[in-house]
Amino acid sequence: MDINHQQLDEILADFSALGQAAYLDDPIFGFGYAATERDELGLPQFSPELPQVPVALVERHQALLTHPDNDTPQQEVWTEHALTQGMRRIGHGVHRLPNLDGWLIAEWPRDGGGLQLQQPDGTLFVYALCKLDPAWTAAAQHYHEVLVLHGPRLGLRVPRSQADADHQRANELATARQEGLVTGGLMQWGTVRTP
């Protein structure tokens, strides 16, 4: 599908997205085990029980894929923009979840509520409409940070009414992580700053 410049401007001006509040121990993420402490030699001690760290999934309404004329692989515009602003790819394997200095996640007070991500320069990156359980908000306040997963295919469009919805969502998220389309990291929870 070809789009003209006016349509592209309308898409880029749309800062809204789908969102979901979850916890790190949700099996859909496939994070496995967490190194929560170190032993006397400094080696990580892994626990099969993940802490109740709050996670925010933010999936843009539209993916914008580039189609370069050369052998360069396709790139997704919002993913690449997130990387230029300091987010990190959240792929598979053992890794430390990155802290995203200067980024902020907070409640979105309009349109029925949700979450908003603020870039280090204080400008709005995206807002995601979703319901926030008071226990999730309390966990965000307790930890002072939220793990944010941002990308075009996080499984949020899979209808929960489908019999295998959790399996489909997990597969979609795993594939997006393998393809390098999931960005994010640990963002400070708080009140938005005025630029």
* Number of domains into which the chain is organized: 1
- Considering the domain boundaries, does residue 195 fall inside one? no
| 47 pLDDT tier (thresholds 50, 70, 90) | low
Is residue 99 one of the residues assigned to a domain? yes
Residue 104 to residues 81, 97, 124, 169: CA-CA distances in angstroms? 16, 16, 10, 26
What HEC string does 115-126 produce? EEEECCCCCEEE
Q: Assess if residue 194 is contained within a domain.
A: no
Determine which of 26-30, 36-40, 174-178 has the lowest per-residue pLDDT on average: 36-40
Residue 160 belongs to some domain of the structure: yes
Using a pLDDT cut of 90, give the percent of the chain over it.
Answer: 31
**Contact of 50 with 25, CB cutoff 8 Å:** yes
Is residue 17 included in any domain, yes or no? yes
Q: Which residue has the higher pLDDT, 4 or 76?
A: 76
Highest mean pLDDT among 6-10, 55-59, 97-101: 55-59
**What pTM, to 2 d.p., does this model score?**
0.81
Q: Which domain holds residue 19?
A: 5-189
DSSP strands (E only) in 61-166: 88-89, 99-108, 114-118, 124-129, 145-151
